[in-house]
Amino acid sequence: MKLVVLSDNRQVDESLESEHGLCIYMETDKYKCLLDTGASNRFIRNAEKLNINLKDVDYVFISHGHSDHTGGLQAFLEINSEAQIIISRQALSYRFFSSRNGIKKIGTDIDIEGIENRFLFVDNEMLIENEIHVFAAKMHDFPSPKANKTLMRKHEDKLIADDFQHELIITFGIEKIVVYSGCAHCGVLNILDSVKQTLHRPVSVLIGGFHLLDGSKGQYETESDITTIAESMHSLYPETAFITGHCTGDNVYGILKKKLQDNLTRFYTGYTISFI
| Host domain of residue 35 | 2-274
pLDDT, tens digit, 9 for 90 and up, residues 245-268? 999 999 999 999 999 999 999 999
* Range of weakest confidence among 54-63, 101-110, 205-214: 101-110
271 band by pLDDT with thresholds 50, 70 and 90: very high
Residue 139 has pLDDT above 80, yes or no: no
Q: What percent of the chain has pLDDT over 90?
A: 91
pLDDT of residue 214: 95
Encode burial over 62-72: b for 16+ CB neighbours within 10 A, e otherwise: bbbbbbbbbbb
pLDDT of residue 137: 80
pLDDT, tens digit, 9 for 90 and up, residues 107-136? 999 889 999 999 999 988 999 999 999 998
pLDDT of residue 26: 98
Residue 219 has pLDDT above 90, yes or no: no
pLDDT of residue 229: 98
Residue 217 has pLDDT above 80, yes or no: no
Q: In what order do the strands lie in the sheet with 119-121?
A: 119-121, 84-87, 59-61, 32-35, 23-27, 2-7, 272-274
Tally of domains in the chain: 1
Calculate the average pLDDT of the chain: 95
Pairing of strands 177-180, 203-207: parallel
pLDDT, tens digit, 9 for 90 and up, residues 15-41? 999 999 999 999 999 999 999 999 999
Helices (H), the chain: 42-49, 67-70, 73-79, 89-93, 188-199, 223-236, 250-260
pLDDT, tens digit, 9 for 90 and up, residues 36-63? 999 999 999 999 999 999 999 999 999 9
pLDDT, tens digit, 9 for 90 and up, residues 156-173? 999 999 999 999 999 999
Burial class for 247, CB neighbours closer than 10 Å (0-12, 13-18, 19+): buried
Query: What CATH code is carried by the domain that includes residue 226?
Result: 3.60.15.10
- Which of 272, 266, 269 has its CA nearest to residue 44? 269
